[in-house]
Structure 1
């Protein structure tokens, strides 16, 4: 069984890039968002769900799933603390709860739904060939 650190360093690129993007956004006083009610919580839920998916894919098994959830939840807490130093921003327990809920759902889906996990782990080029096997065949016309 692999732990979170067992894949190549290249595998950490996307989760690290997303954490940098989150940190940059948290450090801004104003963030452009649609005028939808409570869009903020949905954005937290979705972004941290994506982050958790990227992190849980780095390992295998229950230990990796729990570790991914813990790491992403703690990062959400640190992100809220980071916002406390940004003028015009505030710390909200509800934001951290949305972060953790998004991470929990993402990790649960990845760990408990083999078809979903297989879909995420299938290389893009292979998906196209499997979904449309005759697409790359030469035409007889």
Structure 2
């Protein structure tokens, strides 16, 4: 049942992996200021969705009791760690690099996903 309730989160994780570790040549060429703004917004949004999907999936599954009752905490932590791993992985990709601003956007997005979950399910 764990996989069933977290299927969308797993698919989203794969999408982030494919986009996050794509070579720099695959990225569209635009003005540097457009990239900075769009890039940070994209990181933020992707991790809002990831965190939200993980919280929903973790809280609905009943295979792991601790995960179910602390879904928000575990989901945000998993999102933080995954964001860090993606950024570290980018350091090994041609024309990509580890960026602290991207990591901050990932973490803020994970926290915002928690907020979205709260607004939808708890408010």
Unaligned runs of 5+ in 2: 60-67
Q: Deviations over 1:57-88 (max 9, x none)?
A: 02337721011100001000000011111000
2:28 to 29, 32, 38: 32
**Is this contact kept in 1: 2:21–2:86, CA < 8 A?**
no
Worse-superposed segment, 18-27 or 46-55: 18-27
Match of 1:100 in 2: 107
CA distance in 1, matches of 2:77, 2:5: 19
| Aligned with 2:8 (options 14, 21, 40) | 14
TM-score by length of 2: 0.78
Q: 1:107 to 1:88 in 2, by over 3 A?
A: same
2:63 maps to what in 1? Answer: none
Alignment of 1:1-141 (within 5 A): 7-30=1-24, 31-32=27-28, 36=34, 37-60=36-59, 63-111=70-118, 113=119, 116-117=120-121
How many corresponding residue pairs?
Answer: 109
Point out the structure with the larger helix share.
2
The normalised TM-score by structure 1 is 0.69
